[in-house]
A and B are shown apart, each in its own frame.
Chain A
Amino acid sequence: MEGYIPELKELIKRVEATRPARVERAKRNEHFPALTMQQREEWLNLYHPDYKKDGRRAVRIGPNKGAVLPEEVASLLESSSRIDSNAIDLSRVDYTADVLVIGGGGAGTAAAIMAQEAGCKAIISTKLRHGDSNTVMAEGGIQGADQECDSPYCHYLDVVGGGHFTNRPDLVAALTNDAPLIISWLEDMGMMFDKLPDGRMKVRHGGGTSRKRMHSAGDMTGAEIMRVLRDEARNRHWDITVLEFTPAVELLLDSDGGCAGAILYNLETKEFYIVRAKAVIIASGGFGRLHIQGFPTTNHYGATADGVVMAYRAGVAVSELDSTQYHPTGAVFPEQNVGLLITEKVRGLGAQLLNIEGEEFCFALEPRDVESTCIIRECVDQGKGVMTPVGRIGVWLDSPMIDLLHGEGTVKKELPAKYIQFKRYGIDISKEPMLIYPTLHYQNGGLVINDEGGTSLRGLFSAGEVTGGVHGRNRLMGNSLLDILVFGRRAGMSAAEYAKKDDKTKVTLTLAHIDRFERELKDAGIEGAVRGPLLLPDYTPDHVRVRRANKE
């Protein structure tokens, strides 16, 4: 692959022409004016995909009946169980645990480690391999107020402002208060943070931050966190059993209506397993692979909202599930990199966004939804986007500015993964800009929890992207890696405490809530509902589907 096609190379010359003057201004700490609060509001309403009316509808049953959600989400909440409750023998228990953790990403693994530390035996059920999750894909960093000029107080204000004051205050207080503890926990486990020689954390700004508090490990921060957590969980394998390629498909309740286990599904042998547990934690991640409104996504292959679907059937309500984060900078060229996340760290290091003329059109470090809105507006409304050969559109992210601002070699050193991913296709991002457009990145809302990770269902806890309220309607960079660990740990500790005092070894397991839900579906006239949870997306091309010619 030989890099940019001639037409795009020609356009890059315009970027190069304006670059020296832009670098000079950046060195003087002069930047493009940020939008006022009023402009933010106006532009969001006009251009952000979340604010559009089409592609959404009211969900017809369940605890959030009447709430208007994206079509893709509403139809899954109204999906029918994968299990015939009459055909399954719940007395044949395959696994027992003190704590069952559904999801093997960062939140679930942190929860399992804390539950184990509290003396519990834990099972992690995960759909793909242990660690295959959005956690590994988070690149830029994790926030935590540990510098002298900063405090959890400042962090709190940044979080609620970025969330347009729609966040749940108690959850934000927990998030920001625990942040330094999390950074320290990771340091103790041997995570390789970017540090100065004296040990001081190398911190940076992210969109919407008032202080530099973005901690990183190259541009693989999430991958480094995940591999350290997974390694630690593996060291405790006597107490933490990991079941890979075995997602949960249904919660199990006890006869008093508390959560007491789950049904797992072996993706390879197609068997269902019954797990009885004293407490259950849902940490199954987000919904990027539902491709809301057809957007490409930065999410991993298994991000299909399974946890929300299961818990909703058991009566747990959701909040802000109509709110989706579009990461401002997903790659649109080359075609092989489409949807690929370009970390916000690129902008944190000084790279600006430019239109087809090579001109700046917005402040590069707005909160993410505002930044995405500015890019969509510039392309779709102002007509100043750059078109790729297959008809995708984007704007330039001027990464070569980084070496000019911070010294030769900075791009390669600070963004090694991105550097390789473009170099592979003949593009040197320390010399040439990247072409980007917003991409579906994060599920802002989800299951309603309290600040200890508890849900309205006794015995059920939850943490991470599957939950709602922490970030309100918009999340700042570096707060999701923090969220999964703060609430993963809290959920793990709460579940362990609950498991220790609530002995469920003799309870009768039931799927009565599923029978009730199926009746509700029928009563609401929802026939032929899709089966949920979805588990995996289906990218079968049409020419293959036609040849299959069966009932699939």
Chain B
Amino acid sequence: MAEDKKKKIKPLATGDKTIPPEGAKMISIYIMGREYRVPETLTILKAVEYAGYRYVRGCGCRGGICGACGTFYRYLGDYRLKTGLACQTVAEPNMVIVQLPFFPANRPNYTLEGMGGDLHGELRRLYPEVFKCVGCGTCTRTCPMDIDVMDYISLMKRGDLKGAAEKSFDCVMCGLCAGRCPAQISQFNAAMFVRRLYGRFMASKAAHLSKRVDEVQSGKYAIMLEDLTKADSDDIKRLYIEREREPDMSEPGGWMPEDTSHL
């Protein structure tokens, strides 16, 4: 009995190949117009592979963060065009699917060195088209990450770069927004630029970090570390076990260990 129980709970190890459960319901999807039968509940990406495609383009992290698999789809008989990431969107009956593995977006070159004065002016210089946004909201409806793209574009226009940086932060740069924009804005590239402006020139610098950088560059830790590399294994194990652990609920910068000899 106990033996049976153990056998029953053995986990299935199937890698990434889809093994549909017995009696899985099959549905029709239309990959670039051609009908295929695939088991329901798969993501579009796995459904396309189940149909027999082997990806070269249009597939990256398979986890919703790289932006390689932006996809347009529409249901048979429905006029509305929808978007999603193929690795994150469940294939449903009568979906007509095409992926957009690349989009020729505008990305002017720049260098952060020498900037820092009129940041809004820099944005205007590099991405004048941002200021021609017609406010249609198609970008926001298109974004597979549910980012309010039009909102961050209007923050950019107003000069609220902090707001634009924060509101665009979840962007995976798939390019679907730019693909649909009637004002021909490459929103995701403009947002990348604004986030770097914010991170470099607007967010407060970490004072403890620049102090530590000076200490590292002065060679302060090189000797301590060299001693550790030469210590014998019993000593290292003892030092490891004797470490003091910073309490879980302490605030950053608010706690100090009793032994401060190697800080």
Q: Known contacts A153-B262, A294-B14; is A169 also within 8 Å of B221 by CB?
A: no
How far does the alpha carbon of A195 sit from the alpha carbon of B203 in the complex, in Å? Answer: 8
Q: Are B195's CB and A210's CB within 8 A?
A: no
Tell me the minimal C-beta distance from B215 to chain A in angstroms.
Answer: 8
How far does the alpha carbon of A184 sit from the alpha carbon of B21 in the complex, in Å? Answer: 50
The answer to the question of B31 belonging to the interface, with a C-beta cut-off of 8 Å to chain A, is no
Give every chain B residue within 8 A of A210 (Cβ-Cβ).
243-246
Q: Are A340's CB and B63's CB within 8 A?
A: yes
Q: Are A235's CB and B109's CB within 8 A?
A: yes
Q: Known contacts A210-B245, A300-B61; is A203 also within 8 Å of B252 by CB?
A: yes
Q: Are B61's CB and A301's CB within 8 A?
A: yes
The answer to the question of A390 belonging to the interface, with a C-beta cut-off of 8 Å to chain B, is yes
How far does the alpha carbon of A234 sit from the alpha carbon of B60 in the complex, in Å? Answer: 20
Q: Are A190's CB and B62's CB within 8 A?
A: no
Tell me the minimal C-beta distance from A168 to chain B in angstroms.
Answer: 9
Give every chain B residue within 8 A of A387 (Cβ-Cβ).
9
Tell me the minimal C-beta distance from A295 to chain B in angstroms.
Answer: 6
Tell me the minimal C-beta distance from B58 to chain A in angstroms.
Answer: 10
Q: Which of A129, A199, A297 contacts B203 (CB 8 A)?
A: A199
How far does the alpha carbon of A11 sit from the alpha carbon of B51 in the complex, in Å? Answer: 36
Q: Are A189's CB and B145's CB within 8 A?
A: no
Give every chain A residue within 8 A of B12 (Cβ-Cβ).
390-392
Q: Are B146's CB and A200's CB within 8 A?
A: no
How far does the alpha carbon of A289 sit from the alpha carbon of B61 in the complex, in Å? Answer: 11
Q: Known contacts A146-B209, A154-B262; is A268 also within 8 Å of B56 by CB?
A: yes
The answer to the question of A414 belonging to the interface, with a C-beta cut-off of 8 Å to chain B, is no
The answer to the question of A41 belonging to the interface, with a C-beta cut-off of 8 Å to chain B, is no
Q: Are A37's CB and B56's CB within 8 A?
A: no
Q: Are B59's CB and A301's CB within 8 A?
A: yes
How far does the alpha carbon of A296 sit from the alpha carbon of B18 in the complex, in Å? Answer: 11
The answer to the question of B98 belonging to the interface, with a C-beta cut-off of 8 Å to chain A, is no
Q: Are B204's CB and A199's CB within 8 A?
A: yes
The answer to the question of A533 belonging to the interface, with a C-beta cut-off of 8 Å to chain B, is no
Q: What secondary structure prevails in chain B residues at the interface with A?
A: loop
Q: Which of B195, B230, B262 contacts A190 (CB 8 A)?
A: B195
Q: Are A190's CB and B252's CB within 8 A?
A: no
Tell me the minimal C-beta distance from A47 to chain B in angstroms.
Answer: 12
In the complex, residue of chain B having the shortest beta-carbon distance to the beta carbon of A184: B213
B-contacting 9-mer, from A158-166, A457-465, A466-474: A158-166
Give every chain B residue within 8 A of A536 (Cβ-Cβ).
54-56
The answer to the question of A188 belonging to the interface, with a C-beta cut-off of 8 Å to chain B, is yes
Q: Are A29's CB and B52's CB within 8 A?
A: no
How far does the alpha carbon of A156 sit from the alpha carbon of B17 in the complex, in Å? Answer: 40
Q: Which of B9, B56, B224 contacts A245 (CB 8 A)?
A: B56
Tell me the minimal C-beta distance from B217 to chain A in angstroms.
Answer: 8
Tell me the minimal C-beta distance from A214 to chain B in angstroms.
Answer: 11
Q: Known contacts A165-B237, A190-B112, A201-B252; is A390 also within 8 Å of B90 by CB?
A: no
Give every chain A residue within 8 A of B209 (Cβ-Cβ).
146, 180, 183-184, 187, 201
Q: Are A350's CB and B248's CB within 8 A?
A: yes
Give every chain A residue within 8 A of B104 (Cβ-Cβ).
none
The answer to the question of A192 belonging to the interface, with a C-beta cut-off of 8 Å to chain B, is yes
The answer to the question of A90 belonging to the interface, with a C-beta cut-off of 8 Å to chain B, is no
The answer to the question of B76 belonging to the interface, with a C-beta cut-off of 8 Å to chain A, is no
The answer to the question of A94 belonging to the interface, with a C-beta cut-off of 8 Å to chain B, is no
Q: Which of A152, A200, A211 contacts B206 (CB 8 A)?
A: A200
Q: Are A190's CB and B196's CB within 8 A?
A: yes
How far does the alpha carbon of A154 sit from the alpha carbon of B15 in the complex, in Å? Answer: 38
Give every chain B residue within 8 A of A157 (Cβ-Cβ).
228, 236, 239-240, 243
Give every chain A residue within 8 A of B256 (Cβ-Cβ).
148-149
How far does the alpha carbon of A533 sit from the alpha carbon of B198 in the complex, in Å? Answer: 41
The answer to the question of A484 belonging to the interface, with a C-beta cut-off of 8 Å to chain B, is no
A-contacting 9-mer, from B133-141, B152-160, B164-172: B164-172
Tell me the minimal C-beta distance from B164 to chain A in angstroms.
Answer: 12
The answer to the question of A193 belonging to the interface, with a C-beta cut-off of 8 Å to chain B, is yes
Q: Are B41's CB and A173's CB within 8 A?
A: no
The answer to the question of A46 belonging to the interface, with a C-beta cut-off of 8 Å to chain B, is no
The answer to the question of A298 belonging to the interface, with a C-beta cut-off of 8 Å to chain B, is yes
Give every chain A residue within 8 A of B184 (Cβ-Cβ).
none
* Size category of the binding interface on chain B: 35 or more
Give every chain A residue within 8 A of B5 (Cβ-Cβ).
383
Q: What secondary structure prevails in chain A residues at the interface with B?
A: loop
Give every chain B residue within 8 A of A161 (Cβ-Cβ).
237, 240, 243
In the complex, residue of chain B having the shortest beta-carbon distance to the beta carbon of A537: B16
Tell me the minimal C-beta distance from B95 to chain A in angstroms.
Answer: 15
Give every chain A residue within 8 A of B68 (Cβ-Cβ).
128-129, 132
A:511-552 near B, CB below 8 Å: 536-541, 544
Give every chain A residue within 8 A of B66 (Cβ-Cβ).
129, 131-132, 136-137, 223, 300
Q: Which of B110, B233, B250 contacts A212 (CB 8 A)?
A: B250
Q: Are B236's CB and A184's CB within 8 A?
A: no
The answer to the question of B94 belonging to the interface, with a C-beta cut-off of 8 Å to chain A, is no
Tell me the minimal C-beta distance from A342 to chain B in angstroms.
Answer: 11
Q: Which of B110, B165, B201, B246 contacts A205 (CB 8 A)?
A: B246
A:303-360 near B, CB below 8 Å: 334-336, 339-341, 350
Give every chain A residue within 8 A of B42 (Cβ-Cβ).
336
Q: Which of B9, B110, B236 contacts A160 (CB 8 A)?
A: B236
**Most chain-B Cβ atoms within 10 A of its Cβ — which of A131, A172, A176, A541?**
A541
Give every chain B residue within 8 A of A383 (Cβ-Cβ).
5-6, 9
The answer to the question of B32 belonging to the interface, with a C-beta cut-off of 8 Å to chain A, is no
The answer to the question of B43 belonging to the interface, with a C-beta cut-off of 8 Å to chain A, is yes
The answer to the question of A380 belonging to the interface, with a C-beta cut-off of 8 Å to chain B, is yes
The answer to the question of B200 belonging to the interface, with a C-beta cut-off of 8 Å to chain A, is yes
How far does the alpha carbon of A351 sit from the alpha carbon of B236 in the complex, in Å? Answer: 31
In the complex, residue of chain B having the shortest beta-carbon distance to the beta carbon of A199: B204
Tell me the minimal C-beta distance from A372 to chain B in angstroms.
Answer: 13
In the complex, residue of chain A having the shortest beta-carbon distance to the beta carbon of B145: A420
Give every chain B residue within 8 A of A220 (Cβ-Cβ).
65, 169-170
A-B contacts, 18 listed (Cβ < 8 Å): A136-B61, A147-B252, A160-B240, A161-B237, A169-B229, A184-B210, A191-B196, A192-B195, A192-B198, A193-B199, A197-B204, A235-B111, A296-B16, A336-B43, A380-B6, A383-B5, A417-B64, A541-B50
- 8 further A-B pairs in the complex, CB-CB below 8 A; given A161-B237, A295-B13, A539-B16: A26-B248, A131-B66, A137-B65, A189-B112, A296-B15, A420-B64, A539-B49, A544-B51
The chain A residues found within 8 Å of chain B, CB to CB, are 1, 26-27, 29, 31, 37, 128-129, 131-132, 136-137, 145-154, 156-158, 160-161, 165, 169-170, 172-173, 176-178, 180-181, 183-184, 187-193, 195-203, 205, 210-212, 217-218, 220, 223-224, 227-228, 231, 234-235, 237, 245, 267-268, 289, 291, 293-298, 300-301, 334-336, 339-341, 350, 379-380, 383, 385, 387, 389-393, 416-417, 420-421, 424-425, 437, 536-541, 544
